[in-house]
Structure 1
Amino acid sequence: MSAMILGGFLFFSVSIGGAIAWIFSKLFQHTTEGLSLLCGGFLVGLLVLDIIPTSVHMYKSFGIILGIIIGYLMFKVLSSLFHPAHSQNPSVYLLAFAMIIHTIPISLTVGNLLGNSALGITITASIILHHLPEGFAVSTALLSQGEKLWRLLLYFLGFSIFFSIFIWIGQYTNLTIKMQGILMGVSIGLIATTSISEFILHHIRSVSIRVFLTYLLLGYFLSYAFHLMV
């Protein structure tokens, strides 16, 4: 199975996640803060239930911790570049960048395994299921800012292209476990700081406590539902 075909499967997967997010955006179309909090709660759930436990199980703790520190510092730099002081919208650029970094260790591993035809179906199914939540998260973030559907398709196309490129690289090179752990840590650091700072704390004073907790918990439970499904 080629890297381009697997990239197509990733595009299909994140598009399904995006379609689910679009349905929720219609339910909450007049509450920008609600969608942002929903996204923040979902991202926290994604970290707690999936990304962090998987990373700790697969990689060394030192590399992950170092990566988290690097991710936080990158957030501070990128936030100053992509998130002007006068802007009141959460920065989707940071989240998209974090998601791209998150796909690098996965795609390199897939590239290393492509020679084993027996793993083809397993890899394909894993790609489709694993990236549903990521498509939901990025789509919710974009839709909370009133972005059009065609922008979502551009983001998804970019994800699939990056994924295919790093699968191709993975066929010819091996990334050490330590480096993979650092990359996963960077991804965790960026996703955590972006979700907490930009999507949650950013709106803590703009809605009531009841509304704040409702949307936040709804996002977390949606993440839990995805976790059970995948």
Structure 2
Amino acid sequence: MLLSILIKIFIIGFGGLLLGAVLGKWAYTYYQHHLEALYLFCGGMLIGVIGFELVPESIQLFNFWSLLAGFSLSFILFNYMESAFHSMFKHKSYLSLIAFVFAILAHNVPVGIALGMSGSNEAFGMALLLALFIHHLPEGIALYILTRISTLNEMVVVLAACIVSLVLSFSAGIGMYTAPTKDWNGIFMGIAIGSLCYVAFHEMIGKVLGRIVKRELFFFVTLGILVLYLYLQLSHEFL
């Protein structure tokens, strides 16, 4: 049972990153001047997962203050990490890829623990797996593009995706064997939600601000949210 769940988490994480990498390769090859729209669309989809699934479920299951504490902690952590990596690696182009992969690894630890702790709650676990897969798509796109910019072999993408997914599964295993209180569960979920928000608003949408007009920004983000909302409605009808 445990092994099958961890394998499922690995496959979903690995598959999301590789599918994103395939999209990144296609986009990098044919749409080098339209990547902003793709990032905004993916960011909108992630916002939809957070707003329509994770936040409503978390508010029902966990204490608000523990969620807020975890949410705040994740933003402090990732802002500190970003400034630290930029100051250390700003003179080396390939090190931006290392910093990005490390950020994904750090982000997947609380997400994996949250997945492990939600193993007994199938509906909530599926929401997290959906969020995991969707947020790995834009990360896979960015992973491929950064790899190409760094002039590294494409196998680096596969290796990085494998390492990230292994860390995710390992973290989920830890989450399954721990028995934290409801407050600790809320903190971990707050960290997961905050981390996903960081990826959506900072890494996806924030990176293209100023490079696209506000009308197009609003359109593509809204389109991503609507597509995700319709997908969730259809999935709830048939699952």
Q: TM-score, normalised by structure 1?
A: 0.74
| 1:41/1:150 CA distance change after superposition, 3 Å | farther
Cα distance in 2, alignment partners of residues 157 and 22 from structure 1: 13
Match of residue 107, structure 2, among 98, 121, 130: 98
Distance 1:54 1:191, change over 3 A: same
Question: Which residue of structure 2 lines up, in the alignment, with residue 135 of structure 1?
Answer: 136
2:16 alignment counterpart = 17
Alignment of 1:74-153 (within 5 A): 74-84=77-87, 92=100, 93-110=102-119, 113=120, 126=126, 131-143=132-144, 145=146, 150-153=155-158
Whether the aligned pair in 1 keeps the contact of 2:108 and 2:168 (CA below 8 Å) is: no
Q: Does 1:176 align with 2:181?
A: yes
The unaligned stretches of length 5 or more in structure 1 are 114-118
Q: Aligned residues: percent identity?
A: 19
Counterpart in 2 of 1:47?
A: 50
Give 1:98's aligned amino acid: H
SS for the counterpart of 1:206 is coil
How far apart are 1:155 and its partner, in Å? Answer: 4.3
Deviates most, 5-14 or 155-164: 155-164
Asked whether the 8 Å contact 2:115–2:175 carries over to 1, the reply is: no
- In structure 2, relative to structure 1, the CA distance for the partners of 1:196 and 1:161 (3 Å cut) is same
Indicate how the Cα distance of structure 1 residues 227 and 82 shifts in structure 2: closer, same or farther if over 3 A, else same.
farther
SS at match of 2:179: coil
1:8 pairs with 2:11: no
Counterpart AA for 1:189? G
Answer yes or no: is 1:36 the counterpart of 2:2. Answer: no
- Counterpart-to-counterpart distance in 1, 2:198 and 2:165: 24
State the shift of 1:72 in Å: 1.7
SS of corresponding position for 1:205: coil
Amino acid of the residue matched to residue 31 of structure 2?
Answer: Q
How big is the shift at 1:181?
A: 0.7
Residue 58 of structure 2 aligns with an amino acid whose one-letter code is: S
Query: Offset at 1:184?
Result: 1.4
Distance of aligned partners of 1:192 and 1:167 in 2 relative to their CA distance in 1, 3 Å threshold? closer
Tell me, in whole angstroms, the C-alpha distance in 1 between the residues paired with 2:227 and 2:22.
Answer: 13
Output one character per residue of 1:166-199: Cα deviation in whole Å (capped at 9) or x when no partner. 4443554312211111111122223323422332
Of the three residues 145, 159, 162, the one matched with 1:154 is 159
Distance 1:151 1:77 in 2: 26
Residues 52-99 of structure 1 show CA distances to partners (whole Å, capped at 9, x for unaligned) of 222212211010011112112112211102345969989744355324
- Is this contact kept in 2: 1:7–1:160, CA < 8 A? no
CA distance in 2, matches of 1:198, 1:171: 29
CA distance in 2, matches of 1:130, 1:41: 12
Residue 116 of structure 1 corresponds to which residue in structure 2?
none
Give me the whole-angstrom Cα distance separating, in 2, the residues matched to 1:95 and 1:160. 10
> Over aligned residues, Cα RMSD in angstroms?
3.5
Query: 1:22 Cα shift?
Result: 4.9
Matched, 1:207 2:212: yes
TM-score w.r.t. structure 2 length? Answer: 0.72
Contact 2:46 2:131 in 1 (8 A): no
Displacement of 1:222 in angstroms is: 3.7
**Superimposed CA distance per residue, residues 117-143 of structure 1 (whole angstroms, 9 cap, x where no aligned partner):** xx9xx69x9486564323324223434
Q: Distance in 2 between the 1:169 and 1:15 partners?
A: 19
Instruction: Return 160-169 or 171-180, whichever deviates more.
Output: 160-169
